[in-house]
Structure 1
């Protein structure tokens, strides 16, 4: 391998690691509490029994701990059973539990060492492929979004591109870009374009929740795809972190709830249409091959990947990791609902109103899943406390388009590098860039 090829290879690997790590860091803690159902796939038929096996160790060795307790519940619900447990050689197990309907049963274990309490959890799936959504499909759902896209189409793109020589190389050009969106706002992002002859496929990368800067999806561009990584908040994505931290604590605090009582003014209308405008921008690039276009994201980005593909037939493939904004009304029906947990905890007293329920139906991923026609690759685990599996299975089970899922049961709101590699290999296989 010559120096240039070796440097390219190392940069590609480094970029992949950065991108995958950004999905969420693999959690580690001082005291390792492992909780696992008694089947290797963590999956059961309704009415079957599950026992949870518990291990409490430090550096792989049992250690004295205090106040070991457990709670078993349907995810996000009140405990069905809780109490203290005794460990023998750092191990224990629960009594048998079951579920009579499809869903997820979770066991949480807590133990204290050196005055600090630590937590572990494991989640059994009971026929998750049979979970049905609670959210209803508005009768004018399609016409609402057709009208919104027509509104967007009347707005000039007015794109701006600033070359970033410090990020560019002999292999790619990188730009900070922006383009016009609805309500006199703009969408900002980092565009990476391979150098060389010919045309290239394109990948739109949509963000997880939060307010932060972005560096671009460099690794995929080095592999031969145009990539556009966008922010959703109508602000440049290359400012100092302090700016985003101040916005997160100030004007954009709780952005996911802003105007959620009005379907025309809700925060995510501008976001969803901004993703469509990002597609407009990508397909306008002279380097684009005119055919192969994908979208990917995790959490909020998983939701945006599905909604963008459902709204825009120019998207040919999608990859989504634990999609948020799915079956948000679950809590109103006695079970877990999707992030941002609009009807859970303290949120309930503010948002349990007919106009909020009506608005969210137009933005719930379940309803986009119902009209989705784009082939997709999905990956997640059962221990997710941010985007409950009950919520994203409510959406996944409604998808009639071709779909593949890679389940790693023990993962929560984080992924292993192997999941990221499967996503990328799937995308590039579909895009003709193996």
Structure 2
């Protein structure tokens, strides 16, 4: 088995110093307060679907800046009583997927929601404005300031997905789970760190963690966008500290100690996009009840067997 990162024994001990600024919590509290001043304006339209046991809805709600966020909302057709709910966030450049990808949750008696990440591969645009240019992709949009950085509105969009489900009369707001892989794993950590409503969090090889090390050692994936930003706009790295200060507000490692949800994380040891050590950086800082699945021979790829592990985790803990 090739070694793409540290040996496993060292990964289990890898716990770099947190990079959160003193105003990390107040920064995110301020973003939540601003978000709450803007209505969701949620619009649901039931769509015809060839599975009679579920109802499928095309959802649109407004981000805090007015961006229309698209999602799929799937509910068991004959549900009795308040339902637990699970919210899925997708990987980089992806989209909300298709309703069939949520059917296993509905078959377990959960409502399920999957949303787009703004400006990426789905119907959701990005109406945010950025004060300067960027490298191709989304990683460097507004990177000089946490108040203008792309992922600020993305994280708030994801929290507003919780606002939507908590406003639904069929939902038990004490039984919320969040999950996703890669970028979706990073979004899962962020949402569970910003908001204490999730009771279960299931990040799979989370992206957006331990930024400095990720940029230094990755060999595939989106992190080159940050290097390309430096190549184009700051070849001498004169703004390096400011860039990493911005990224510290969005680092899953810094959210980890703030998470209260029971957490199941999956890490693949052959991952060159989200290097294992960067995922361990977040996992080892988790203070909540947690479990870890390590897949020694897998990289940044689909893990259908782990989907079943998440189903069991939800069955046991939600």
Same fold (TM over 0.5): yes
Aligned positions of 1:32-431 closer than 5 A: 36=1, 75=4, 104-105=5-6, 124-133=7-16, 136-165=19-48, 167=49, 169-196=51-78, 197-212=80-95, 214-216=97-99, 217-233=102-118, 237=122, 253-330=136-213, 340-341=222-223, 346-349=228-231, 350=233, 352=237, 353=239, 354-431=241-318
Which is higher, the Rg of structure 1 or of structure 2?
A: 1
- Is 1:325–1:339's contact at 8 Å kept on the other side of the alignment? no
TM-aligned CA deviation for residue 237 of structure 1? 4.5
Residue in structure 2 matched with residue 117 of structure 1 by the alignment:
none
The structure with higher relative contact order (CA 8 Å, sep 6+) is: 2
Matched-pair contact (CA < 8 Å) for 2:140–2:225: no
Q: Is the CA contact (8 Å cut-off) linking 1:336 and 1:388 kept in structure 2?
A: yes
Q: Does structure 2 retain, via aligned residues, the 8 Å contact 1:324–1:340?
A: no
Q: Secondary structure at the match of 2:202?
A: strand
CA distance in 1, matches of 2:254, 2:156: 16
Alpha-carbon distance in structure 1 between the residues aligned to 2:42 and 2:135? 24
Q: Distance in 2 between matches of 1:348 and 1:236?
A: 25
Structure ranking higher in helix proportion: 2
The TM-score normalised by the length of structure 2 is 0.87
Measured against aligned partners, the alpha-carbon deviations of 1:329-356 in whole angstroms (never above 9, x if no partner) come to 1268x65699642687545434642321
Is the contact between residue 318 and residue 376 of structure 1 (CA under 8 Å) also seen in structure 2? yes
C-alpha displacement at 1:134, in angstroms? Answer: 5.3
CA spacing shift, 1:164–1:141, aligned 2, 3 Å:
same
How many Å apart are 1:312 and its aligned residue? 1.2
> For residues 374 and 213 of structure 1, do their structure 2 counterparts lie closer, same or farther at Cα, with a shift above 3 Å needed?
closer
> What is the CA–CA distance in structure 2 between the aligned matches of 1:337 and 1:136, rounded to whole Å?
23
Aligned residues of 1:134 and 1:329 also touching (Cα < 8 A): no
| Between 184-193 and 345-354, the greater mean CA deviation after superposition | 345-354
* Cα distance in 2 for residues equivalent to 1:318 and 1:338: 26
Question: What are the ranges of 5 or more consecutive residues in structure 1 without an aligned counterpart?
Answer: 1-35, 37-51, 53-71, 76-103, 106-123, 244-250
**Kindly tell me: are residues 283 and 173 of structure 1, through their superposed partners in 2, closer, same or farther at Cα, counting changes over 3 Å?**
same
What RMSD over aligned residues (CA atoms) do the two structures have, in Å? 2.7
Report the TM-score, using the length of structure 1 for normalisation.
Answer: 0.64
User: After superposition, what is the alpha-carbon deviation per residue over 1:15-41, rounded to whole angstroms, capped at 9, x for unaligned?
Assistant: xxxxxxxxxxxxxxxxxxxxx2xxxxx
Q: Check conservation: 1:302, 1:323, Cα contact below 8 A.
A: yes
Deviation at 1:358, TM superposition (A): 1.3
